[in-house]
Amino acid sequence: MSVFSRPDPAARGVGMTSQRARDRLVERLAGEGIRDRRVLDVMRTLPRHQFIDEALASRAYEDTALPIGKSQTISQPFVVARMTEALIEHRLPQRVLEIGTGSGYQCAVLSLLVEQMFTVERIDELLRNARRRFRKLGLDNIRSRHDDGRLGWSDEAPFDAIIVTAAGAALESALLSQLAPQGCLVAPVGPTGRQTLMRVRAGDDGWLEENLGAVSFVPLRGGTE
Ligand code: SAH
């Protein structure tokens, strides 16, 4: 499964012109401490510029978050890399749930590493744009749903890993309950300006919590629109 196995001619054309920009971004990520070759290789391949508005495409390979409409952002590449690395470090998960599809970029990165992705987004318009991008790139191992992701996706649980890409006040217990034994959850937690990236793994006697450092995400909100 690769973005190159079902090439879309238009996508490939633009992708080629961006390859050098992607190579430079990946070198920078490696220099900043991203070590997992699997993550770097996927980010070298996946055209991030196709996950944002054309007007911003020239900035796609800068290491910054960018607006995607509806007051939401596509995450900074370093943060995508760090979260992906943290999620697959101890065991490569097969079934992964993402809360907060947004542009679809984080989900697309993971879809090239794991067997099956599930992603939930509360804003319908963003979800529809993301689905169009998945189709265009031939990413056919992604199932998506328009819903309040704080509830997870109970019909499809359990998941080997769960990644949350918007910050809640605390870890959501509904999400923890949908983790498989030995599962791993990565999520930003805390109020704007004071968020930390948490990794939670199921240990023999309870949850193992690790603080992976300060981050800045949009808030996790209830309901749908
Ligand atoms: N993973 C995304 C990051 C998008 S920003 C990317 O790679 O582009 C976070 C996203 O989480 C936003 O699109 C926001 O609408 C969504 N979100 C916030 N609260 C949510 C909730 N309760 N359920 C589902 N999605 C949510």
| pLDDT one-digit tens code per residue, 156-177 | 999 999 999 999 999 999 999 9
Q: Using CA atoms in the order 40, 42, 47, 49, what is the torsion angle rounded to 10 degrees?
A: -50
| Ligand 1 center–CA 100 separation, angstroms | 3
- CA pseudo-torsion sign 143, 47, 41, 216: negative
CATH class held by domain 64-215: alpha beta
10-19, 53-62, 102-111, 113-122, range with the lowest pLDDT:
10-19
pLDDT on residue 13: 44
| pLDDT one-digit tens code per residue, 55-96 | 999 999 999 999 999 999 999 999 999 999 999 999 999 999
| pLDDT one-digit tens code per residue, 23-36 | 999 999 999 999 99
Partners of residue 115 on adjacent β-strands: none
What whole-number distance in Å separates Cα of residue 109 and Cα of residue 96?
12
Please state whether beta strands 72-74 and 66-69 pair in parallel, antiparallel, or not at all (unpaired). Answer: antiparallel
Annotation marks residue 58 as catalytic: no
CB-ligand 1 contact for 106 (6 Å cutoff):
yes
Identify whether the C-beta of residue 107 lies closer than 8 Å to the C-beta of residue 142. Answer: yes
CB-ligand 1 contact for 167 (6 Å cutoff):
no
pLDDT on residue 198: 98
| pLDDT one-digit tens code per residue, 48-65 | 999 999 999 999 999 999
Q: What is the mean pLDDT of residues 111-120?
A: 98
Q: Residue 1: which pLDDT band, with cuts at 50, 70 and 90?
A: very low
Q: Mean pLDDT in the chain?
A: 93
